[in-house]
């Protein structure tokens, strides 16, 4: 069983640039969620995709956008980067549906973005 993988693990960008973060879901999972975690804080929900459609969004501006592909891998795109976008970005996959499913999130190791 392949776990959740994210790339890149670290990257540095300058203010105003654009960034794309990638996530490969755990095998068999149909839902992917993205979180932003600033240093010393809890993960903040950005959005969630289920079967290639966004089905939930947190309090993030439209310059945060995403995609989910038919193989359930996903991308997080952030345009016009700001200094406050510096954070650890976590991808988590899960399985929606099923009688005994808890909806547990399986996390990747994250992509650490630094905006200068």
Partner 1 sequence: AQKITQTQPGMFVQEKEAVTLDCTYDTSDPSYGLFWYKQPSSGEMIFLIYQGSYDQQNATEGRYSLNFQKARKSANLVISASQLGDSAMYFCAMREGPPGFKTIFGAGTRLFVKA
Residue by residue, DSSP assigns 55-112 as EEE-S--TTEEEEE-TTS-EEEEE-S--GGG-EEEEEEEE----TT-----EE---EE
CA 61/CA 64 separation, integer angstroms: 6
Q: Which of residues 86-105 bind partner 1 (CB under 8 A)?
A: 88, 90, 92, 94-98, 101-105
**Interface pick for partner 1 out of 15, 56, 82, 114 (rule CB under 8 A):** 56
Nearer to partner 1, 1 or 104 (CB): 104
Helix (H) or strand (E) holding 56: strand 53-57
Taking residues 7 to 36 in sequence order and writing x for each that binds partner 1 by CB under 8 A, - otherwise, the string is: ------------------------x-x-x-
Interface with partner 1 (CB under 8 A), residue from 25, 26, 32, 43: 43
Number of residues near partner 1 (by CB under 8 A)? 31
Rounded to whole angstroms, the Cα distance separating 81 from 39 reads 17
Residues that bind partner 1 (CB under 8 A): 31, 33, 35, 41-45, 48, 50, 55-56, 58, 88, 90, 92, 94-98, 101-107, 109-110, 112
């Amino acid at each position: 069983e392949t776990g959740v993988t994210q790339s890149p693990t670290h990257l540095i960008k300058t203010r105003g640039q654009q960034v794309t973060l990638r996530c490969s879901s755990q095998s068999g999972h149909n839902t992917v969620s993205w979180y932003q975690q600033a240093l010393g804080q809890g993960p903040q929900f950005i959005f969630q995709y289920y079967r290639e459609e966004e089905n939930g969004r947190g309090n993030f501006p439209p310059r945060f956008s995403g995609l989910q592909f038919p193989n359930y891998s996903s991308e997080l795109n952030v345009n016009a980067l700001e200094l406050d976008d510096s954070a650890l970005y976590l991808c988590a996959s899960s399985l929606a549906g099923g009688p005994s499913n808890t909806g547990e999130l399986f996390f990747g190791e994250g992509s650490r973005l630094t905006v200068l």
